[in-house]
Structure 1
Amino acid sequence: MLIAKNIKKNYGNLQVLKGIDLEISQGEIISIVGASGAGKTTLLQILGTLDRADSGEVFLDNINYNSLKDKELARFRNEKISFIFQFHNLMPEFTALENVCIPAWIGGKKNTEITQKAEEILTMLGLKDRIKHFPSQLSGGEQQRVAVARALINSPAVIFADEPSGNLDSKNAEELHQMFFELRKQFNQTFVIITHNEQLANMADRKLVMQDGQIILNSDGI
């Protein structure tokens, strides 16, 4: 489903990625761990179309998106890829419902259908009574669940998450981790997650350990 071949990336004279090969199947939950500077975020950004590799190829659903032009890539990203970050990045002037709808509105989808879908997702994530609340009226855990709902709205092929529970307390972090697996069970959703949370890393189907721009271990989770 997602295939990376010999991905290399330099920033000036610094070689950040040194030839990454990776295959991820539909419905897999992959964790990526490693020390700061190992290349985790750079790899995630290239896989997620936020940056381009200097060389190599990345395929998602048989489309080599490293060769797409900027406008094509933006459309492809909106349709196929979503993100969850450490900080929820919600728009403060919009309600929870509106925040979830934004990616679909950008993609030109019909407002009535999207609003209904957003309400269904928020309800499924336990936020039925918070739909019309603004981010400032939500707890940290609730805000991150809104961010998860936003990531789901376009039914992406893959969701990339960069330290998604890094800003949450242990209870909300554990609930978020369990949510990923429930979403996989319900939608066969694929997740690629950078994390320093050892529990989440070991829960994944596979744990990739990065060091000095390379994957040095590719192991099954517990």
Structure 2
Amino acid sequence: MIKATHIHKQFGSLEVLKGVDIQVEKAQVVSIVGASGAGKTTLLHILGTLDTMTPREDSSLIINGIDIKKLSLKKMAQFRNEHIGFIFQFHQLLPEFTALENVCIPAFIKGTSRKEAQARGKELLDFLGLSHRLSHKPEALSGGEQQRVAVARALMNQPDVIFADEPSGNLDSESAQHLHQLFFTLREELGQTFVIVTHNTELAQMADKTFTMQDGKIIH
């Protein structure tokens, strides 16, 4: 599913990633842990094509058989929309739109018809226990509900992999526990692959594989 080799990232003279190798198989839940400043989010952004690695001959990033380094910016944006989902700590829902409208945004960007997108959005929100919240805007939803809407949005285009950056970091312990269990339910029922940056020890221990980062490298 994902094979990243010798991933480097420099910001000026600061080397944030120092040759990271990581491999993720389909339908795995993988966690990336480590102290703040270890390079976790930078790595996640590169794997998710939100950022680019520092060019090197020996570096490569293959996602579902596609060589990311060979894609133009336009093709990369299209690939990201169709094959990758994202969940962030602060759900990033648009406040002026309803739950259903927020979920449908990736499908609208892809060019899916409104009818088809809304049908898929309703199906996802129902699956996540939010069928009674379709027309509610984010301000009327609890933190856990907002994050489930964000999960539905990430699933909208049936992505190959979902990248999550501290997805439960802004939730109370009960909502966090429900969210963590949801990831594994989605893996079991939909075969969904997750790569999750987290400080949550419980979630890291639940993962199929855990990578520990320190000073820009994976040490375990």
TM range (shorter): over 0.9
- Look up the match of 2:8: 8
- Look up the match of 1:132: 135
Of 145, 150, 154, 2:153 maps to: 150
- Residue 197 (1) aligns with residue 200 (2): yes
Structure 2: 5+ residue stretches without partners: none
Q: CA deviation at 1:202?
A: 0.5
- Residue 51 (1) aligns with residue 51 (2): yes
Q: Which amino acid counterpart does residue 20 of structure 2 have in structure 1?
A: I
- Look up the match of 2:108: 105
Deviations 1:19-72 (Å, cap 9, x if unpaired)? 111111100000000011111011000000011001311111111112311111
The TM-score normalised by the length of structure 2 is 0.97
Please provide the CA RMSD for this pair: 0.6
* Aligned equivalents of 1:32, 1:200: Cα separation in 2: 10
- Look up the match of 2:30: 30
* Aligned equivalents of 1:210, 1:66: Cα separation in 2: 23
* Aligned equivalents of 1:15, 1:135: Cα separation in 2: 38
SS of the residue 1:4 aligns to: strand
SS of the residue 1:16 aligns to: strand
Within-5 A mapping of 1:110-189: 110-189=113-192
Q: Which amino acid counterpart does residue 74 of structure 1 have in structure 2?
A: A
* Aligned equivalents of 1:134, 1:38: Cα separation in 2: 36
* Aligned equivalents of 1:117, 1:82: Cα separation in 2: 15
SS of the residue 1:38 aligns to: coil
Q: Which amino acid counterpart does residue 150 of structure 1 have in structure 2?
A: R
- Which moves more between the two structures, 120-129 or 61-70? 61-70
- Which moves more between the two structures, 108-117 or 92-101? 108-117
SS of the residue 2:169 aligns to: coil
The TM-score normalised by the length of structure 1 is 0.96
Q: Report how many residues are paired.
A: 217
**Which stretches of structure 1, 4 residues or longer, exceed 2 Å deviation after superposition?**
none
Q: CA deviation at 1:129?
A: 0.4
Within-5 A mapping of 1:27-106: 27-54=27-54, 55=56, 56-106=59-109
Q: CA deviation at 1:193?
A: 0.3
- Look up the match of 1:220: none
Q: Identity over aligned residues, as a percent?
A: 59
* Aligned equivalents of 2:140, 2:16: Cα separation in 1: 40
SS of the residue 1:168 aligns to: coil
